[in-house]
């Protein structure tokens, strides 16, 4: 854990603890980027970023990739404030890129129940990409309600509500450089 992480933790009274320190995240993101660069060496993939939670992950991942690639954004929501899933999945912003025949890598912040990404995969599959895979920073396997194949996973985490590194609680805490757990 870095001094900055500890300092930020002290200044955030609603945070219980740091689950993944910022240095561990940076190291793991570089490893994932190496794997992606190797696996997509013969193509130009489209990285589909799911807003808003995955924007920090994408920003770090894209700068560690050593292959040509494109980035596009989608906004899809299943949480509307608080920490409980509503089961409602809604597209708030669609892609600009035509992904037909393209190698698509969906970049997600967290796969929890899997309902959101399952819906998204079904929808993207109808557009006939050449390949469609998922890269998620965090995986909460114990919360899963839909079996989802994850090509790249940063960290498996316990079934707790986490914030930081793009993930929010009521739109706050996205800026924290680490993944932390809220006080309940
Ligand atoms: P799922 O549909 O897999 O249950 O949830 C997907 C979305 O719910 C994620 O993309 C994320 O926006 C939100 N989510 C799930 N678990 C957490 C969590 O622990 N913390 C935060 N901040 N968001 C979460």
**Structural domain contains residue 5:** no
Note whether 116 and 89 are within 8 A (CB): yes
Would the pTM of this model clear 0.95, i.e. be above it?
Answer: no
**Structural domain contains residue 111:** yes
**Structural domain contains residue 183:** no
**Structural domain contains residue 1:** no
User: What would the pLDDT profile of 85-118 be if each residue is shown by its tens digit?
Assistant: 555 577 889 999 999 999 999 999 999 989 888 8
d(CA 25, CA 180): 12
Pocket test for ligand 1, best of 116, 119, 157, 166 (most atoms within 8 A of CB): 116
Q: What is the CATH number for 113? A: 3.40.50.2020
Name the domain count of the chain: 1
- Among residues 53, 67, 51, 23, the alpha carbon closest in space to that of 178 is found at 23
How are strands ordered across the β-sheet holding 152-156? 90-93, 70-77, 46-51, 103-111, 131-139, 152-156
**Structural domain contains residue 55:** yes
**Structural domain contains residue 176:** no
Catalytic residue among 60, 103, 112, 139: 112
Per-range mean pLDDT, top range of 9-23, 80-94, 128-142: 128-142
d(CA 24, CA 19): 10
**Structural domain contains residue 66:** yes
Name the residue with higher pLDDT: 151 or 2. Answer: 151
CB atoms within 10 A of CB 164: 27
**Structural domain contains residue 177:** no
Enclosing domain of residue 105: 45-169
Pocket test for ligand 1, best of 58, 106, 109 (most atoms within 8 A of CB): 109
């Amino acid at each position: 854990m870095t001094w900055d992480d500890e300092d930020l933790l002290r200044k955030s009274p609603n945070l219980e603890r740091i689950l993944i320190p910022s240095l561990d995240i940076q190291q793991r993101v570089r490893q994932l980027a190496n794997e992606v660069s190797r696996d997509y060496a013969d193509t130009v993939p489209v990285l589909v970023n799911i807003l808003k939670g995955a924007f920090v992950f994408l920003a770090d991942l894209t700068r560690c990739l050593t292959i040509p690639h494109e980035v596009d954004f989608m906004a899809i929501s299943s949480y509307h404030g608080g920490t409980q899933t509503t089961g409602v999945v809604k597209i708030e912003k669609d892609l600009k890129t035509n992904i037909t025949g393209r190698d698509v890598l969906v970049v997600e912040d967290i796969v929890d129940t899997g309902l959101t990404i399952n819906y998204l995969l079904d929808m993207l599959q109808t557009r006939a990409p050449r390949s469609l895979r998922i890269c998620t920073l965090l995986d909460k396997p114990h919360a899963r309600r839909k079996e989802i194949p994850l090509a790249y996973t940063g960290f498996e985490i316990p079934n707790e509500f986490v914030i930081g590194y793009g993930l929010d609680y009521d739109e706050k805490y996205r800026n924290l450089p680490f993944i932390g757990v809220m006080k309940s």
